[in-house]
Amino acid sequence: MKTTTPFVWIVFSLGLFAMLPAQAKDETVRLSYPSKVEASKGKEREKLFSPWMTSESMRSFIDDKRTKGEQIVFFEYNNTNGQSRGIFVKLKLSGPFSRWSFTNEAAMEEKLNNEMKAGLQPAFISRNVSGAYSMLFVSPGDLVAVRAELTKLGIGEPRLKK
Strand, helix or coil for residue 58: helix
Is residue 92 in some structural domain? yes
CA-CA distance, 121 to 105, in Å (whole number)? 18
Q: What is the pLDDT of residues 51-103, one digit of tens each?
A: 999 999 999 999 999 999 999 999 998 888 889 999 999 999 999 999 999 88
> Mean of the per-residue pLDDT values for the chain?
84
Nearest Cα to 13, choosing from 22, 5, 2, 1? 5
Is residue 9 in some structural domain? no
Nearest Cα to 108, choosing from 137, 84, 80, 86? 137
Is residue 108 in some structural domain? yes
Q: How many domains does one find in the chain? A: 1
Is residue 107 in some structural domain? yes
DSSP string, 24-50: PP----EEEEPPPB-GGGHHHHHHHBP
Does the pLDDT value for residue 50 go beyond 90? yes
Is residue 141 in some structural domain? yes
Could you tell me the pTM of the whole model?
A: 0.77
Residue-number span of the structural domain to which 114 is assigned:
25-161
154 or 34, which is more confident: 154
Q: What is the pLDDT of residue 162?
A: 67
What percentage of the chain reaches a pLDDT higher than 70? Answer: 81
Is residue 5 in some structural domain? no
**Beta partners for 74?**
87
- The pLDDT confidence band at residue 9, using thresholds 50, 70 and 90, is very low
Q: What is the pLDDT of residue 19?
A: 46
Q: What is the pLDDT of residue 90?
A: 96
Is residue 47 in some structural domain? yes
